[in-house]
Amino acid sequence: MRRGEVWWVDLDPTRGSEIRKTRPAVIVSVDALNRARRTVVVVPLSSAAPARPPLVVPAESVGTGSVAVCDQVRAVDKTRLISKLGQLSLPDLKVLSESLAIILGC
């Protein structure tokens, strides 16, 4: 499990306004942390949300109309990761990282 990989992730159960169900998500935590911990940090993907940078940014390398919902970033146990779908392109990962830095105040 490496930074930039896209996996099917089971996000249920959720509460309130948390994005739910099994959906693709991008691993955004660094590889050293991914190897050392039982969790990874992910950003869920959606095909229904409109792009609204920096909260929601395009992830076209995954699929037409896909967006990364940056304000739904979260740590998940690795047991929630079902199967690998692919890899986010480097340009998309750069935009995603920049958006996360804005949202998290880095």
Q: Within a domain: residue 44? A: yes
pLDDT in tens for each of the 106 residues of the chain?
A: 999 999 999 999 999 999 999 999 999 999 999 999 999 999 999 988 777 777 888 787 877 688 999 999 999 999 999 999 999 999 999 999 999 999 999 8
Residue 103 lies in a domain: no
State the total domains in the chain.
1
Does residue 66 belong to any structural domain of this protein? Answer: yes
- In terms of C-beta density within 10 A (0-12 exposed, 13-18 middle, 19 or more buried), how is residue 24 classed? buried
For residue 77, give its domain range.
5-94
In a domain, residue 104? The reply is no
**Does 62 fall in a domain?**
yes
Give the predicted TM-score (pTM) of the model.
0.92
Q: Name the nearest CA neighbour of 34 among 2, 8, 81.
A: 2
Q: Is residue 102, in this structure, part of any structural domain at all?
A: no
85 Rama sector, left if φ>0, alpha if ψ -120 to 50, beta otherwise = alpha
Which CATH number characterizes residue 20's domain? 2.30.30.110
